[in-house]
A and B are shown apart, each in its own frame.
Chain A
C-alpha cells in the first residue's frame, strides 16, 4: 500500500537524526551551540541588522562545505543565490584562502608544502565549486527555487544552497500581502522538500524590520508572522555591547543559546575577546 510507505516510526527517524550531517560555520563556539554546525537536510533562516555579518556567514558556509571529507568536511559544492548583489567575489576568494590556510595549519612544514601545491587546495578551485545565480526580481526568485529541483539532480555534489537575501524582492514589489504570504509559504515548502530529498542545507538570509510588541518597538525579522513559522531553524545575529553574537531563536532539537563570533579577514571565526562566554538562555 503506497500510503504506508510514507509513514516512518519515530525510532527510524532517530537513527536518521543521529546521522545528521552538519556544515561548520568556522566559529567553534557557534558550532558548539549548533551541535556541529548548520544542519543538512533542513532549512535554516539567519537574520540580523545590516552589517552584522549575514553575507559573511553565507559565503563562509559556501566555502566550508567544500572542505574535503578527509579533513572533516563534506567535499561538496554550493549554490549561492544572490538577490541583492551583496556577493563580493574578492571576499569569497579571501575567505577560501583563510579556510585553506586553516586546513594547512594542521600539518608539519614538510607535509604542508606538498598539500598546498595540490590543485584542489587553491582558492580558485573553491570558487569554481560555488554556483552563482544573480536574481533581480521576485519572479526570478520563484523561478530559481522551482528550477533547483532539476539543477540539483544534475549537480549531485551540491550540499548547501544559500539565498542572500530571501527578503529583498519580497519587500520591494508586493502590493497584495495575502498573495505574498501564499507565495512565500509555497516557496518555503519547496525549499524544505529540496533540503530533505537531497540532504543538503538550505540557508536563507533575512533582514530586520521593526515591530510594536510588548509596549514598545523591537527589531524582528522581515516578511511577517506567517513566514516566521515556515523555517525549521532560525538564528538571529545581533550586537551585544561590542560583540557580535548569534542566538538560536528557533530549533526543533537545540536549546536557545547565544554564542559570540567575529568577522575577520579570514572569515567567520571565534570571538577574540577575553570576556567571551557562551550563554544559555
Chain B
C-alpha cells in the first residue's frame, strides 16, 4: 500500500506532474512529509496540497472490514495448532494460535528445543491425528535440531503411526531445516520465503533461537538510541505470520538482570527503595531481546524451574490469564505432570527462575 504510485491515483494532471518533478513517486514519499513541507515543496496553495493528501491517503489506506467479517474469514482455518498437552491447549483456547508470534523463553537446557521438535512433528501429521498435514520450516541458528531425537519423539508419542511403513520418512521429509549463519542471512531467507510459504503448503515456522542471531551481531543495549538489529525482522515475521495465517514459534534466551533494568514508572518512585525487592530481583533472569520484542509477541510461554520442578507458564496471552503447568521431558517429548495448572499473579508472571535444578544429579 505504501508503494502505490502517485501517477496512478487519478490526481489532476498538473498536480501529478508537480509531484513527479519533485521526485515524490510513491504514497510513502508523499505522506512522510508534513503538509506544510509538501505545500512548500510543490509550490501549490495549501488547499491543493491538502486535497491531494486526502486523495492519496484514501487510496493508500488498506480496506477495512467489520470484526464479524474478519471472524467469518478466519473461521475456516481452525485457528490453532494443538500441542497435545491438554492443560496448555485449554489455556490457549486450542493451542498455538495461527497468524501470530508465539515466544518460548527460558534458561538453556530446559526443554524449549524439545518443545519445538514436538511441534514440528505435530504439524506434519495428518488432520485425523490432530496435525496440520503440512510442511514445517525450522530455522535452526544454534545447530540444535536433531532428526534422530525427533524420530524418537514420534515413535514414542504416536507408535501406531510410526510403525507403519514409510510414514516416518514421509513426516520427516516435510520438515525443512535452515541454518542461517548471520542475521542478514536470516532476513534474506525470510524475504525469499514469503511467496514460497503458500506455494509449498508450509503450516508452521519455527525460529530456534532468535536471540542467538542477535547476540552475535550487536552488543549495544536496546535502551540506546542506535538501531535495534532485530527491528525489521520482527515486523516482517509478524506480517509473515498474519499474511500466511500460520503459527510462528520463536525461542528466546535469558540473561541476568543488570542494575540498569527499569521496573518502575517515575510516579512509583517510593516503592523502589525496598531493599528486599532488589535482592530478590538479582537472583532472577529476564528474557533477552528486550522490551520492544516483549511487546511484539502475542503469546509468551515461559519455561522455568523452581521448587525442584520445571514449569511451562503462559505469561502473556490475549485469551487467558497467567497459568503454569509442571512438566518433564521424556522420550516422547514434553509431558505435563498436571493438566490443572497453577494460577500466577503479579510480578511472578514475568519472572523467569532457574533454581532447584541440580544438573549433576540427572
Contact = CB atoms under 8 A, between A and B. Distances in A.
Asked if A and B bind, the verdict is yes
Interface of A: 49-51, 55-56, 79-80, 84-94, 124, 127-140, 142-147, 149-151, 165, 168-169, 171-173, 179, 182-183, 186, 207-214, 216-220, 236, 238-243, 247, 249, 256, 263-265, 281
A209 B291 contact: yes
A199 B349 CA distance: 39
A87 B242 CA distance: 11
Given A207-B292, A218-B262, A263-B321, A137 B350 contact: no
Contact of B66 (A88, A90, A131, A135): A131
Nearest to B236: A172
Given A134-B62, A256-B267, 4 more contacts: A90-B93, A171-B231, A217-B262, A249-B267
Contacts, number: 204
9 contacts: A85-B239, A133-B62, A147-B54, A168-B296, A172-B235, A210-B291, A214-B266, A242-B346, A263-B321
Contact of A133 (B64, B231, B261, B271): B64
A255 to B, nearest CB: 13
Contacts of B297: 50
B67 A132 contact: yes
Contacts of B264: 218-219, 238
A128 B321 CA distance: 27
Contact of B318 (A80, A88, A165, A264): A88
Interface of B: prevailing SS: helix
Contacts of A145: 57
B305 interface: no
Interface stretch (B25-33, B123-131, B152-160, B163-171): B25-33
A207 B71 contact: no
B242 A85 contact: yes
Given A90-B319, A127-B66, A171-B292, A239 B346 contact: yes
B158 to A, nearest CB: 29
Interface residues of B, number: 71
A264 B57 CA distance: 38
Interface string B308-320: 0000000110110
Contact of A207 (B67, B68, B261, B295): B295
Interface string B241-284: 11000000000000000001111111111011000000000000
In the complex, the 9 A-B pairs of residues with the closest C-beta atoms, listed nearest first:
A242-B346, A146-B57, A139-B2, A217-B262, A130-B67, A127-B68, A143-B60, A210-B262, A51-B316
B33 to A, nearest CB: 8
Interface string B173-205: 000000000000000000000000000000000
A88 B262 CA distance: 29
Contacts of A213: 266
Nearest to B28: A139
Contacts of A140: 1-2, 60-62
Contacts of B12: none
Contacts of A136: 1, 62, 239
Contacts of A84: 238, 295-296
A142 B31 contact: yes
Contacts of A216: 262, 272
Contact of A149 (B2, B54, B291, B315): B54
Contact of A85 (B34, B35, B99, B267): B99
Interface of A: prevailing SS: mixed
B231 A85 contact: no
A88 B320 CA distance: 12
Contact of A172 (B67, B234, B260, B319): B234
B70 interface: yes
B275 to A, nearest CB: 15
A183 B28 CA distance: 12
A239 B68 contact: no
A208 B291 contact: yes
A94 B320 CA distance: 11
Residue among A50, A208, A239, A241 with max Cβ neighbours from chain B (10 Å): A50
B291 A243 contact: no
A147 B58 contact: yes
Residue among A84, A165, A179, A264 with max Cβ neighbours from chain B (10 Å): A84
A236 B265 contact: yes
Contact of A139 (B27, B70, B296): B27
A142 B292 CA distance: 22
Given A51-B315, A89-B71, A209-B291, A139 B60 contact: yes
Interface string B24-66: 0001100110110100000000000000011011101110111
A150 B54 contact: yes
Given A147-B57, A242-B347, A50 B294 contact: yes
Nearest to A47: B265
A135 B62 contact: yes
A210 B223 contact: yes
Contacts of B220: none
B347 A239 contact: yes
Nearest to A187: B34
Contacts of B272: 216
Contact of B1 (A143, A210, A242): A143
B100 A142 contact: no
B8 interface: no
B97 interface: yes
